[in-house]
């Protein structure tokens, strides 16, 4: 469609774009909500898309909620959405461990109760969730009892992250046969009011550094997140639109999977950054250029309701 | 000296090498001791070097103990005449950096353990007090001390997410200094086991803050500059002996010292040769000039 990229999405172009897709995938933070605040007009956009016969999915790197918890949040904020339309990394990591890693055993989990729940729901037993303060002395730490049934280490967001957890993960990962998966590499958890809290990316970096190993990463921009949705719902990439606020995760995912991409400016990335990527000679940066950009997702409402 | 040839030292070569040097810098873990066991012959080598008129210094990235603890450890393991002034740990040097180089006006927020805290106090550098976690405290609302002008991160067995979040908040101000004691990703324990090192905690904080830490420990030059500022070292007449190619040997290379790798610790001869034969200049700097099985190999030359 767009021979030129990074085009502002006008009303006329909106109608054209919407007619060319059957399915819209939304990132959440910075696109339809910010922290606990809904982006005005976003719920109406989702309803209108569905009325127009489009499939709608929510694809988020945030690993702190189960699909049902997301559905509850969506409902509370006025969205018409169900749990099976949500693809968060807690759920997708469980699917990844089951189907890609073919895990048949336990996983040492640095993560949330939500992750624990999603793992248990696919029949994988996690160990390690919750507070884990240090005990004993340095020479005891290399000898922490290891569960022989653990076949993988999974790292997601964990506010109980501690030296002891880092140590346990390292001990498991000293075995090269032990698989190593991370939910995502986002460095910050976005919060309302411009505050930010260190994200999963930091915890994953700590474990990768100690173990001198690279994790397999499930979240955007890895194409697994799209494949997860596509395999369950039979999607045609060329008829899909990815809407996101981050060039390095959402838009890159779109590029990787051959989707159309729309950058909203209610979150992290800016048009200036997108244009800089467009001018760059670097192939990687070229993947971080959206087809279109728009001030807020609410701006497509007129085209939808026409 | 830009990357060495990994020459195995024998006989007269050892004597010639020692004759050409005035100052000998030893790494500790894996070189003169392993855990609580001295490397056989190491105490004698240190004594004999001093008797021959050489100056001896100990340069360690280990930031867990204050220097006075090291003096006790040396004594316990049979090293009879090591003085506190000869010991340079990354904890001691981090404190020295904050006091003498950064000339810190304000407090430092520390992610670290007792050793670092003691060295900072001894150097007169004010440390931000860690308040006990209030019941309602969360990572989203951390009380910040307005006097904090630097963050120092090192090995900390009490590392928590809360500390990471607080440090990240302080580092949002570009004037706040960002220091790391050392870059070691893991530390060896006895029996070939490992434990996470300062480097892994630093990596977490660098990722969270999108800033790079100024690293005090090897392979950064600062520890050498610290010793030199007190004792006046001439790189051409100094020898660095270590067991870890990416820290000790690279440190020696960065400071223009002749480097010796001993095989009683982390790195292997194979790894040394791989660095020597690498095409990348940065990798070549990790190749030692000389390789020895153990520091005990100096004994014969010294006893003559």
Q: Is the separation of the CB atoms in B198 and B183 below 8 Å?
A: yes
Q: What is the mean pLDDT of chain B?
A: 93
Confidence of residue A192 (pLDDT cuts 50, 70, 90): low
CA distance A66 to chain B (A): 21
How many Cβ contacts (< 8 angstroms) between chains A and B? 104
Of A145-159, A186-200, B150-164, the range with the lowest mean pLDDT is: A186-200
Q: Average pLDDT, stretch A43-65?
A: 97
Task: Please indicate whether, in this complex, the C-beta atoms of A142 and B193 are within 8 angstroms of each other.
Answer: yes
CA distance B48 to chain A (A): 32
Q: Is the separation of the CB atoms in A41 and A301 below 8 Å?
A: yes
> Is residue B184 part of an annotated ligand binding site?
no
Q: Average pLDDT, stretch B92-112?
A: 97
Q: Average pLDDT, stretch A60-83?
A: 97
* The pLDDT value given to residue A25: 98
Q: Average pLDDT, stretch B62-82?
A: 94
Alpha-carbon distances, residue A253 vs A55, A63, A248 (angstroms): 18, 17, 8
Percent of chain B with pLDDT over 70: 95
Is residue B144 within 8 angstroms of chain A, CB to CB?
A: no
What distance separates the 2 farthest-apart alpha carbons in chain A? Answer: 70
The answer on pLDDT for B302 being more than 60 is yes
Report the distance separating Cα A211 and Cα A165, nearest Å: 13
Give the bridge partners for A196, in sequence order: A190
Task: Please indicate whether, in this complex, the C-beta atoms of A159 and B139 are within 8 angstroms of each other.
Answer: yes
Report the distance separating Cα B25 and Cα B50, nearest Å: 12
Q: Average pLDDT, stretch A45-62?
A: 97
Q: Which of A138, A158, A198 sits opposite B195 (nearest CB)?
A: A138
Residue-wise pLDDT tens digits, A87-143: 999 999 999 999 999 998 899 999 999 999 999 999 999 999 999 987 878 777 778
Q: For residue B206, which residues of chain A lie inside 8 Å, CB to CB? A: 205
Task: Please indicate whether, in this complex, the C-beta atoms of B164 and A162 are within 8 angstroms of each other.
Answer: no
**Four-CA torsion A63, A67, A71, A72, nearest 10 degrees:** -70
* The pLDDT value given to residue B134: 58
The ipTM assigned to this model is: 0.91
Residue-wise pLDDT tens digits, B260-277: 999 999 999 999 999 999
Token look-up 């996470």 returns B196
Angle ∠(A206,A209,A210) on CA atoms, nearest 5: 85
Task: Please indicate whether, in this complex, the C-beta atoms of B196 and A166 are within 8 angstroms of each other.
Answer: yes
Conformation bin of residue A209: beta by default, left when phi > 0, alpha when psi is -120 to 50: alpha
Q: For residue A161, which residues of chain B lie inside 8 Å, CB to CB? A: 160-161, 164
| DSSP strand pairing (A7-8 vs B214-215) | unpaired
* The pLDDT value given to residue A1: 37
Cis peptide before B219 (omega within 30 of 0): yes
* The pLDDT value given to residue A195: 64
Q: Does this model's pTM top 0.90? A: yes
Q: Where are the alpha helices (DSSP H) in chain B?
A: 11-19, 42-51, 67-76, 90-96, 114-122, 161-170, 198-209, 222-231, 250-254, 269-276, 281-284, 298-303
* The pLDDT value given to residue B135: 53
Q: Average pLDDT, stretch B150-156?
A: 97
Residues 6+ apart with CB under 8 A from B282: none
* The pLDDT value given to residue B201: 98
The answer on pLDDT for B51 being more than 60 is yes
Q: Average pLDDT, stretch A154-161?
A: 96
Task: Please indicate whether, in this complex, the C-beta atoms of B160 and A187 are within 8 angstroms of each other.
Answer: no
Q: Is the separation of the CB atoms in B250 and B275 below 8 Å?
A: no
* The pLDDT value given to residue B137: 61
Q: Average pLDDT, stretch B158-175?
A: 94
* Token code pair at residue A180: 């190593």
Q: Is the separation of the CB atoms in B15 and B300 below 8 Å?
A: no
Token look-up 């951390």 returns B142
Give the bridge partners for B179, in sequence order: B152, B214
Is residue B281 within 8 angstroms of chain A, CB to CB?
A: no
Report the 10 Å Cβ neighbour count for A124.
23
Confidence of residue A156 (pLDDT cuts 50, 70, 90): very high
Report the distance separating Cα A119 and Cα A77, nearest Å: 27
Confidence of residue A194 (pLDDT cuts 50, 70, 90): low
What distance separates the 2 farthest-apart alpha carbons in chain B? Answer: 69
The answer on pLDDT for A297 being more than 70 is yes
> Is residue B297 part of an annotated ligand binding site?
no
- Catalytic machinery residues of B: 27, 29
Percent of chain A with pLDDT over 90: 87
Residue-wise pLDDT tens digits, B120-132: 999 999 999 876 6
* The pLDDT value given to residue A140: 79
Report the distance separating Cα B112 and Cα B201, nearest Å: 10
Is residue A161 within 8 angstroms of chain B, CB to CB?
A: yes
Give the bridge partners for B177, in sequence order: B150
> Is residue A27 part of an annotated ligand binding site?
yes
Burial grade of A76 (CB within 10 A; 0-12, 13-18, 19 or more): exposed
Residue-wise pLDDT tens digits, A141-151: 778 889 999 99
């Amino acid at each position: 469609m767009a021979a030129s990229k990074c085009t502002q999405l006008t009303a006329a172009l909106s109608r054209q774009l919407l007619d060319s897709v059957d399915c819209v995938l939304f990132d959440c933070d910075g696109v339809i909500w910010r922290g606990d605040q809904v982006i005005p007009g976003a719920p109406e956009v989702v309803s209108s898309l569905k009325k127009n016969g489009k499939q709608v999915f929510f694809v988020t790197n945030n690993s702190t909620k189960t699909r049902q918890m997301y559905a509850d949040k969506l409902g509370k904020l006025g969205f018409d959405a169900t749990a099976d339309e949500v693809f968060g990394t807690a759920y997708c990591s469980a699917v990844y461990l089951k189907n890609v890693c073919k895990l048949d055993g336990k996983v040492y989990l640095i993560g949330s109760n939500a992750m624990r729940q999603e793992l248990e729901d696919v029949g994988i037993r996690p160990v390690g969730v919750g507070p884990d303060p240090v005990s004993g002395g340095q020479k005891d730490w290399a000898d922490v009892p290891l569960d022989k049934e653990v076949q993988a280490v999974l790292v997601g967001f964990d506010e109980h992250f501690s030296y002891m957890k880092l140590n346990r993960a390292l001990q498991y990962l000293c075995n090269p046969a032990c698989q190593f998966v991370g939910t995502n590499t986002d460095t910050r958890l976005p919060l309302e009011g411009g505050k930010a809290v260190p994200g999963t990316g930091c915890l994953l970096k700590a474990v990768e550094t100690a173990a001198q190993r690279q994790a397999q990463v499930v979240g955007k921009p890895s194409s697994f997140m799209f494949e997860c949705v596509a395999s369950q719902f039979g999607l045609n990439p060329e008829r899909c639109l990815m809407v996101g606020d981050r060039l390095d995760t959402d838009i890159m995912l779109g590029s990787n999977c051959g989707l159309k991409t729309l950058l909203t400016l209610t979150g992290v990335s800016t048009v200036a950054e997108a244009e800089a990527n467009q001018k760059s000679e670097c192939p990687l940066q070229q993947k971080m250029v959206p087809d279109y950009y728009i001030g807020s997702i609410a701006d497509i409402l007129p085209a939808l309701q026409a | 000296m830009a990357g060495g040839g990994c020459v195995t030292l024998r006989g007269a070569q050892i004597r010639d090498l020692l004759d050409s040097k005035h100052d000998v810098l030893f790494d500790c873990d894996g070189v003169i001791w392993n855990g609580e066991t001295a490397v056989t012959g190491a105490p004698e080598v240190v004594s004999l070097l001093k008797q021959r008129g050489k100056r001896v210094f100990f340069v360690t990235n280990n930031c867990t103990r204050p220097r006075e603890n090291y003096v006790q450890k040396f004594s316990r393991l049979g090293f009879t005449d090591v003085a506190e002034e000869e010991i340079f740990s990354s904890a001691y040097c981090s404190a020295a950096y904050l006091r003498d180089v950064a000339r810190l006006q304000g407090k430092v927020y520390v992610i670290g353990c007792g050793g670092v805290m003691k060295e900072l106090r001894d150097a007169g550098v004010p440390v931000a007090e860690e308040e006990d976690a209030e019941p309602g405290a969360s990572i989203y609302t951390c009380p910040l001390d307005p006097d904090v002008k630097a963050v120092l991160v090192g090995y900390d067995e009490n590392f928590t997410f809360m500390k990471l979040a607080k440090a990240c908040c302080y580092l949002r101000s570009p004037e706040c200094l960002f220091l790391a004691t050392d870059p070691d990703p893991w530390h060896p324990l006895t029996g070939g086991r490992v434990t996470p090192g300062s480097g892994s905690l630093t990596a977490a904080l660098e990722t969270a803050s999108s800033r790079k830490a100024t690293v005090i420990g090897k392979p950064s030059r600062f520890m050498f500059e610290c010793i030199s500022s007190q004792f006046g070292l001439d790189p051409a007449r100094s020898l660095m002996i270590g067991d870890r190619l990416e820290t000790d040997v690279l440190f020696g290379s960065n400071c223009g010292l002749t480097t010796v790798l001993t095989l009683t610790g982390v790195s292997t001869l194979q790894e040394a040769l791989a660095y020597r034969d690498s095409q990348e200049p940065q990798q070549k700097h990790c190749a030692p000039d000389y390789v020895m099985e153990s520091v005990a190999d100096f004994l014969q030359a010294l006893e003559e």
